Amino acid sequence: MRTNLREKPREDFQKYNAELQEKMKVDTLRQCRLFRGLSVDDIKGLSSHAAMVHYKKGASIFEEGNPADFFYVVQDGLVKVYKGTSTGKILTFTVAGRGDTLNATAVSGDNYYMSAQTLNEVTVLKIGRKSYQAFLTEHSSIAIELIAMLSSRLNRECDRVVRLIGEDVEQRLIISLFTLARKFGTTLSLTREELANCAGTTTETAIRVLSRLKKQGIIGCAAGRGGIIISDMAKLHDLVVEDEGWI
Amino acid sequence: MRTNLREKPREDFQKYNAELQEKMKVDTLRQCRLFRGLSVDDIKGLSSHAAMVHYKKGASIFEEGNPADFFYVVQDGLVKVYKGTSTGKILTFTVAGRGDTLNATAVSGDNYYMSAQTLNEVTVLKIGRKSYQAFLTEHSSIAIELIAMLSSRLNRECDRVVRLIGEDVEQRLIISLFTLARKFGTTLSLTREELANCAGTTTETAIRVLSRLKKQGIIGCAAGRGGIIISDMAKLHDLVVEDEGWI
DNA sequence: CGCCTGATTGATAAGTATCAAGGTCGGTGG
DNA sequence: CCACCGACCTTGATACTTATCAATCAGGCG
């Protein structure tokens, strides 16, 4: 029968495809800091609840204040996690990449505490709130990692506050650039506007600072049209004022 | 024998005194959010490791960067918990009162992450780092409370960041006043400088805003010399711009 | 080719910090 | 008891940082 001859390879292909996807999901979850220390089997258990979802550039994954029905992990692409201010500005708290969670530390509250929007083509893993919470309570060793994550994030936000009070815009932009470059490499695909949002300033001010840095040879000339290239990371690092003081 | 006749009451007195102090310590610890849900016996166990220490006004309890040898709970008085900026300014993250911990959320790191200084006569409970950590691991139910505390503090700091970007100084001062008054009542014994540090501004600017509020009848005229009296809490509340948006 | 987004530069204005100069009150020592 | 001193409060003038507004430019894409 013709149908049989046709169906057989298609089934194989589908099975292969499903296995591949499952492998990718597990791979991604294993890169989460939150799940380190867990066995592969544990992660496979969680992975079975995870759906792979694709977003195009500029799409909203979730918005501040909406019911937090899902827990997200970035599989591919860049996602900005931000909050809007009462005056319509935006502050980007983090740019999440592969293996980063979007809302792991949002433990309390039934609603998303921030918004998440894609900066390019993005694939995420999406896990139902219930499944995620059940997984957390089953694997109590995560609690320790969660506390560590929360604690370090809290410190980071406190530092951000101190910098907002103590440092001028130029310094904040430099720190944003440095932090982003350390995480994603020296070729950043961010618009000036996105960078400005990271530092809590305006596009124009960000551009003016970048121009100055370009004159100093720290930013490459090939910048522009949605990208920033850092050509002298060492010099950039020298410009960062450490507020740690004693080291 | 004379000695006997004398010693007896003194022993009684000392015993009574020790019991009283122990009771005070337990009472204080029971007011800690971190320890709610624990039995009185559990808390008594922790209390036995706690020493009551007195500080006079303006004293430093611990300083950012020093080895974090102790865990502190405020028994009486006000303590500001702050960080200095690289430019010499100060940002007060919280004013701690009775039952508040000074460094409970500083889980990671071996050094104090902030500084703590008394705002008036203060009594604290001081528990050795080891004893505190042992207690935490023994009573794993605290982990849940700790996560909740960390999470809510993280949210609060993120909000602070957003307000620093989005709101002007006047609004930040109003929010600081409102928050302080809700916690400590409408008679605040804070200098203008301390209030300014809470809002991340300068003394002069804080004074100018307070003058305006005084004209509007929100701040009492009896203010000045180390105190602020809020005479119209409702009107103050009306001035607070909620950035929650939907409620 | 024309539109649209993002980058860029300049001019201007608003918000705050900074600097300066008293003023007030409470405590302390002669 | 009084005078002084120091900590805190207050107000004004000025400067600086950065946002805002406006205009132009460059490149990608339908």
pLDDT at B7: 61
Q: What is the pLDDT of residue B195?
A: 97
Q: Write b or e for each residue in A201-218: b if 16 or more Cβ atoms lie within 10 A of its Cβ, otherwise e.
A: beeeebebbbeebbeeeb
Interchain CB contacts (distance < 8 Å): A and B: 124
Q: Express each pLDDT in A213-239 by its tens digit.
A: 999 999 987 766 889 999 999 999 999
What distance in Å separates residue B186's CA from the closest CA in chain A?
A: 27
> Which chain A residues have a beta carbon less than 8 Å from that of B160?
157, 161
Average of per-residue pLDDT across A93-102: 97
B-chain CB neighbours of A143 within 8 Å are: 143-144, 147
The DSSP bridge partners found for residue B116 are B62, B81
Can you give the pTM of this predicted structure?
Answer: 0.91
Q: What is the pLDDT of residues B88-130, one digit of tens each?
A: 999 999 999 999 999 988 877 889 999 999 999 999 999 999 9
Round and report the angstrom distance from CA (A203) to C1' (D19).
10
Domains of chain A: 9-159 (2.60.120.10), 168-239 (1.10.10.10)
Mean pLDDT (whole number) for A76-82: 96
- Cβ-in-10-Å burial (0-12, 13-18, 19+) of A60 comes to exposed
Residues contacting B50, CB < 8 A, separation 6+ = B25, B29, B73, B125, B126, B127
pLDDT at B64 over 80: yes
Q: B31, B76 in Cβ contact below 8 A?
A: no
pLDDT of residue A5: 56
Q: What is the pLDDT of residues B145-204, one digit of tens each?
A: 999 999 999 999 999 999 999 999 999 999 999 999 999 999 999 999 999 999 999 999
Tens digit of each residue's pLDDT (9 = 90 or more) over B190-230? 999 999 999 999 999 999 999 999 999 999 877 668 889 99
Nucleic strand C near CB of residue A84 (< 7 Å): no
Q: Measured between alpha carbons, how far is A200 from A197 in angstroms, rounded to an integer?
A: 5
Partners of residue B89 in chain A, C-beta under 8 Å: 165-166
Q: For residue B124, what is the enclosing H or E element?
A: strand B122-128
Binned at pLDDT 50, 70 and 90, residue B9 comes out as low
CA B67 to chain A, closest CA, distance in angstroms equals 12
CA of B231 to C1' of C6 (A): 51
pLDDT at residue B247 in the model? 34
C1' of nucleotide C14: residue with nearest CA: B168
- On the question of pLDDT at A247 being above 50, the answer is no
- Residue B225, nucleotide of least CA–C1' distance: D8
In chain B, which residues have their Cβ closer than 8 Å to the Cβ of A242? 86
Give the pLDDT band (50/70/90) at residue B245. Answer: very low
Q: Is the CB of A169 under 7 A from strand D?
A: yes
pLDDT band at B33 (very low <50, low <70, confident <90, very high): very high
CB contact under 8 A, A147 and B143: yes
Inspect the interface and report whether the beta carbons of A165 and B243 lie closer than 8 Å. no
pLDDT band at A2 (very low <50, low <70, confident <90, very high): low
